[in-house]
Amino acid sequence: MAFFDRLTQRIQNVDSLLCVGLDPHIELLPEPTAEAAQKFCVRIIEATIPMASAYKPNAAFFEVFGAQGWQALKDVIAAVPDGIPVILDAKRGDIASTARAYARAVFEKLGADAVTLHPYLGLDAIEPFLQDPGRGVFLLCKTSNPGSDDLQSLTLCSGELLYAHLAKLAAKWSMHANLGLVVGATDPNALAAVRRAAPDLWLLAPGVGAQGADLERALSAGLRGDGLGVLVPVSRGIAMAEDPGGEARVLRDRINQARQQWRQIGVPEDLPAKDRWYLADDLLSSGCVQFGDFKLKSGLRSPIYFDLRRLISHPGLLHRVAQTYCLLLDELAFDRMAALPYAALPIVTAIGLINKRPMIYPRKEVKSHGTLAVIEGEYSPGETAVVIDDLATTGASKFEAIERLEAVGLQVRDVVVLIDRQSGARGELSERGIKMHAVFNLDELIEHWSGSGAISREQAEQVRAFLQHEGH
């Protein structure tokens, strides 16, 4: 099983995002020996098993005892029950040949399930740790120490912060969806920026407890749309407690309370402007919007291409997209949501899980067997269906679907899309008495991305010229 699948399974089994740190500081031990360090950690493991989603031993506090410390670390990892992932906090990072040796040491000799790594040497130094889908990597992105801004917050010539750029790279580097990021809970703004840059990656967020991070703010900034995606490691706060198990339980419950407050079943009352633009940025960074030279179905060459089918590979982003649709749908009166195949099918499924409204869809081809259905799903003649699609270019595909819906007695008054390409669909639909609603217009997206430096001025002008001269 893939590493993050195992981690998710453990989290769901114990309903906990708490990662218990195992840092046997010498001053916490009855005597400065490897044996004392091993017993110290095993005691914490035994006390916290019901609350721990994972354990994170820090290699440095074992290595200080030499060969005996290395053996103690191996024994501590072996003491963690099966089914609970172990993340070795070792912060390795070296050239590829050395990285392969480190990977063998961490995974094969010590038996850890995941490891923390430095990103400074680039992809080839990370690849040896990513070869096995069952093993995970947490790449240092924006750390919790005061000096992290010296390098990690440098501004690139594109205007992007270095740690945000790294987060986008990490999303591409994850060979088997087994790469996450370390982002300090001490900087909620950085957590939010990294979550925008890498909507689906798991984040290890140290800093809660001794370093004084605000747990609630950190979770609000870092959680994915599914209420997961953040591990909260706590070491000294648990280790120094009179009752480590009781303290772990308190922390687990605090985390879950914060998650409950953050995650609303349904949809927020409105979408703040900044969140709308965060969503626009995430559509770009996820590859749902691409710039280049593309041949469209019409035969035209376009400098921009929308591939919203990619949303199915980004569940957190898909959830947020579905929420924005819900904001528009809440203002409309309808009985059924009619999804246009194929891009809108997963989108409307996600919407339905939020707003609990029933879905149907007109088939692209009439079924030639069984029920011979033209429309899939349950409906009754006379009901109103709102048509939902990913994009609107011209009205042609919408009219084809509307005609099939109306042919079985359904009424259509509204069409809802994520992006209006502004190529005539709104006017064509209006002439037929149908109102179109869009989360974004292409003009405003281009203006935003150009203004933020996400795309070049040249790219923006190419799209504007296409819209003006060829897109209509």
pLDDT digits (tens, 9 = 90+) for 23-61: 999 999 999 999 999 999 999 999 999 999 999 999 999
For residues 195-208, average pLDDT: 90
pLDDT exceeds 70 at position 376:
yes
Cβ atoms 62, 89 nearer than 8 A? no
Look up tokens 């897109």; give the residue.
471
CA distance 308 to 313: 10
For residues 108-121, average pLDDT: 96
Question: 267 or 366, which is more confident?
Answer: 366
Question: 372 or 225, which is more confident?
Answer: 225
pLDDT exceeds 60 at position 268:
no
| Sequence ranges of the chain with CATH classification 3.20.20.70 | 3-262
Residues of the chain above pLDDT 90, percent: 61
Which listed CATH number (3.40.50.920, 3.40.50.2020, 3.40.50.11540, 1.10.357.10) goes with 273-469? 3.40.50.2020
Cβ atoms 432, 406 nearer than 8 A? no
For residues 110-124, average pLDDT: 96
* pLDDT score of 128: 95
Write out the E strands in 393-464. 411-420, 435-441
* pLDDT score of 272: 55
* pLDDT score of 417: 95
Which listed CATH number (3.20.20.70, 3.40.50.1100, 3.30.70.260, 3.40.50.10540) goes with 3-262? 3.20.20.70
Look up tokens 């217009």; give the residue.
441
For residues 237-252, average pLDDT: 94
Whole-Å CA distances, 186 to 56, 120, 213, 239, 398: 19, 22, 4, 20, 48
Whole-Å CA distances, 95 to 59, 118, 128, 213, 420: 20, 11, 10, 34, 47
Look up tokens 């093993």; give the residue.
135
Cβ atoms 67, 94 nearer than 8 A? no
For residues 339-366, average pLDDT: 90
- Over residues 169-190, the pLDDT tens digits come to 998 898 788 999 999 998 887 8
Out of 91, 172, 356, 435, the active site residue is 91
Single pTM value for the model: 0.62
Q: Could you tell me which residues come within 8 angstroms of residue 465 by beta carbon, excluding any fewer than 6 positions away?
A: none
| Selection from 77, 53, 61 nearest residue 233 by Cα | 53
CA distance 127 to 119: 11
Would you call 91 a catalytic residue per the annotation? yes
pLDDT exceeds 80 at position 264:
no
Q: Chain-wide mean pLDDT for the chain? A: 89
Q: Could you tell me which residues come within 8 angstroms of residue 354 by beta carbon, excluding any fewer than 6 positions away?
A: 266, 267, 319, 322, 323, 326
- Over residues 338-347, the pLDDT tens digits come to 999 889 999 9
| Selection from 113, 66, 116 nearest residue 93 by Cα | 116
Q: Could you tell me which residues come within 8 angstroms of residue 347 by beta carbon, excluding any fewer than 6 positions away?
A: 308, 311, 318, 321, 322, 325, 339, 388, 390, 418
CA distance 328 to 462: 30
In which element (H, E) is residue 339 found? strand 336-339
* pLDDT score of 76: 97
pLDDT exceeds 70 at position 414:
yes
| Sequence ranges of the chain with CATH classification 3.40.50.2020 | 273-469
Q: Could you tell me which residues come within 8 angstroms of residue 30 by beta carbon, excluding any fewer than 6 positions away?
A: 36
- Over residues 58-101, the pLDDT tens digits come to 999 999 999 999 999 999 999 999 999 999 999 999 999 999 99
SS3 441: strand
pLDDT exceeds 80 at position 327:
yes
* pLDDT score of 273: 58
Cβ atoms 213, 207 nearer than 8 A? yes
* pLDDT score of 373: 76
Whole-Å CA distances, 364 to 375, 383, 392: 9, 21, 17
Question: 192 or 373, which is more confident?
Answer: 192
**Res. 447 pLDDT band, cuts 50 70 90:** confident
